Amino acid sequence: MKQKLTIEKLNAEAKAFCIAESKIKNSFLFGVTDGKAVGTHIEHKFQEQLNLKYDTTIGSSAIGIDLPAKNIMTDIKVTSIKQPQSSCPFKDAKQKIFGLGYNLLVFVYEKVDDPKTKTATLDFISCSFISKERTADYTTTFRLREMVKDKANKEDIVAYLNDKNIPADEITLELLAEQILKSPPTQGYLTISNALQWRLQYQRVVTLSEGVSGISKVIDKVTK
């Protein structure tokens, strides 16, 4: 009988996966420079590992996130250490301020090709679980929290959101400002760039050395 997947078990599986995969020499990844192809390969392989052992839902592009079960609600991201970033669907402007609405499991690899054996090794040098409460934009949330602390009013908040080109109309920005004043956002740890899709950058999480509630360093060869 398959086990029920929990966040703790997800993190444990991610750690075991990173350690095992870092030892494998892949002939089919040799010379591959398409990060999306590498990422898709890793995502599917990790999902298959989970599916073999656990009773959980594996998502699809139609569902939107990779592990949509209510107790997990986690999207898997795989990225190179050269530029640790990825994209995700844009739902609304609130995501940049109050978070994406789901957790992230971020695998960061360094790919090394060996011309002698014509194989590639993916050394997973970082893997982090980021709870949904920490998935907002770092700078935006930092500044907004400061503004609320400094007794900013609704007009101040709207002006700041306009200045930062938050993708929303004036009515939505006013509603956002009211929500921010009523319930200031939690400090986020991603860098989120405006685009047709959100562009998520993870450098701050990868190099994070202090403990932060809501961020678990599953594998960390960067700051140690």
What residues make up the domain containing 168?
A: 138-182
Distance in angstroms (rounded) separating the CA atoms of residues 80 and 140: 25
Q: Is residue 187 part of a domain?
A: no
Q: Is residue 65 part of a domain?
A: yes
Distance in angstroms (rounded) separating the CA atoms of residues 190 and 86: 11
Q: Is residue 216 part of a domain?
A: yes
The single-letter DSSP state of residue 34 is -
180 phi and psi angles, rounded to 5 deg: -65, -40
38 and 120 belong to one structural domain: yes
122 and 78 belong to one structural domain: yes
Tens digit of pLDDT at every position of the chain (224 positions): 889 999 999 999 999 999 999 999 999 899 998 888 999 999 999 999 999 999 988 886 556 799 999 999 999 999 999 999 999 988 999 999 999 999 999 999 999 999 999 999 999 999 999 999 999 999 999 999 999 999 999 999 999 999 999 999 999 999 999 999 999 999 999 999 987 689 999 999 999 999 999 999 999 998 86
Distance in angstroms (rounded) separating the CA atoms of residues 153 and 150: 9
CB atoms closer than 10 angstroms to residue 54: 19
215 and 155 belong to one structural domain: no
37 and 122 belong to one structural domain: yes
50 and 24 belong to one structural domain: yes
Q: Is residue 189 part of a domain?
A: no
What is the domain count for the chain?
Answer: 2
- CATH number of the domain to which 118 belongs: 3.40.210
pTM of the entire structure?
0.94
76 and 34 belong to one structural domain: yes
123 and 160 belong to one structural domain: no
Q: Is residue 197 part of a domain?
A: no
121 and 147 belong to one structural domain: no
Q: Is residue 163 part of a domain?
A: yes
